[in-house]
Amino acid sequence: MDTGLKDIITALDRLNFTTKDKRAIHSYFTNNATSINVASAFLRSCKKDDEIRDYLKNIISTSGRSVAGQSGLTYIFVDNSTFFFQGGAAIQRLEGLDHNYKYNHITYDHGLLIKTLKGDRKLGINPIIVGSCPLPADSLWKKKEGYDVRVFDKNRDKKEKGADDFLTVMSKVIYQNTPGTLVLVAGVFDYQNTVLEASKLKWKIEIWSWKFGKTGYFNNNVNIFCIPLDQHYKSFAYGYSSNPNNKIKGLDVINGDTIQNESIRELFASNDLFFWFHREDEIIHLYFNAQGKSNKAKNLLNNKYEDLEIWERN
């Protein structure tokens, strides 16, 4: 049985929902199969049974209505305005890092971020980003996933204009297209009015944000899912530094001249491994905040690449 579906069934049984209610839930997810994993992630993020119960009851109350997100297309919007500093603080907390080091040289690969957001879903338009432009080395610019990205750069354009253009495109999408899934990386309340309007128009909305403050505002809206980036950061975040701090374990790949930085990021991201790295010509310096992670990285590299010379460094 699918893990996401199992989570939903377990919640229904544990909270003593009636057979009639279970049938309504089954009907809803039969028509909205792509929502199962998102719903499961939301249920796992709930801290109280009342939150879970209210959420499932709202699904039951709307299961007989027209299906939200019926087009099957996904529209991705990323607002970088608070993404970086909130993410840095969140990852420091999650990784148990020294807060004296400002964000511990943490950076992000937007190509991997959008890959995480998209999953295996079909895009309605190219992803939209507002805020600072991704770095030239970002895998986003490789266009490996077959799409371009439109960026409203607040550092280049006037801040207000960039935000207005971003919001204009989002509004056009929800008003001019058959409802699909709106994926928004932003603060939970940053686009509150637009999100609520999209929900009324039968869009499904996923708000991906760092878990700060209260996130329960939309709990009673069956079309809106708040997904914590805290559960996914290893798939797109990493550190770039020659010496993150003195508590870090290290590996030196002596003959790493044929390994591209992007390949390292993708290898570790796909294996749920947070890391720092720094390159000096053919030598790749890798850093980890635990010996177990260093050992895991060494095994991954040896399994993927032949004849690597890897030195351990304390």
Query: Whole-angstrom Cα distance, residue 23 to residue 7?
Result: 16
Instruction: Give the tokens for residue 164.
Output: 């207005």
Query: Whole-angstrom Cα distance, residue 182 to residue 180?
Result: 7
Q: Which helix (H) or strand (E) holds 183?
A: strand 181-185
List, for residues 246-276, the tens digit of each pLDDT value.
556 789 999 888 888 889 989 999 999 999 8
Give rounded-to-5 percent helix, strand, coil for the chain.
45, 20, 35
**How many CB atoms are located within 10 Å of the residue 178 CB?**
13
Higher pLDDT, 103 or 198: 198
Place of tokens 């690449």: 305
CB 203 within 8 A of CB 223: yes
Give the 3-state secondary structure of residue 294.
helix
**Per-residue model confidence (pLDDT) at position 210:** 87
Query: Whole-angstrom Cα distance, residue 227 to residue 46?
Result: 11
**Per-residue model confidence (pLDDT) at position 96:** 78
pLDDT band with cut points at 50, 70 and 90 for residue 34: low
Decide if pLDDT at 217 tops 70.
no
User: Which domains occur in the chain, in start order?
Assistant: 3-62 (no CATH), 73-234 (3.40.50), 241-313 (3.30.70.260)
Query: Whole-angstrom Cα distance, residue 241 to residue 279?
Result: 9
Instruction: Give the tokens for residue 308.
Output: 């690597």
Residue type for position 266? E
List, for residues 219-252, the tens digit of each pLDDT value.
677 788 888 899 899 999 998 876 655 556 789 9
Of 148, 203, 215, which is closest to residue 178 (Cα–Cα)? 203
Place of tokens 């914590």: 228
List, for residues 95-133, the tens digit of each pLDDT value.
877 655 555 678 899 999 999 999 989 999 999 998 888
Of 166, 167, 173, 205, which is closest to residue 188 (Cα–Cα)? 205
Higher pLDDT, 114 or 28: 114
**Per-residue model confidence (pLDDT) at position 244:** 59
CB 112 within 8 A of CB 265: yes
List, for residues 55-101, the tens digit of each pLDDT value.
788 777 655 545 566 778 999 999 987 787 788 888 888 887 765 55
**Per-residue model confidence (pLDDT) at position 213:** 47
List, for residues 136-174, the tens digit of each pLDDT value.
888 888 876 667 788 887 655 555 455 668 888 898 898
Give the 3-state secondary structure of residue 278.
strand
**Per-residue model confidence (pLDDT) at position 237:** 92
Terminal-residue alpha carbon distance, the chain: 44
Query: Whole-angstrom Cα distance, residue 61 to residue 160?
Result: 40
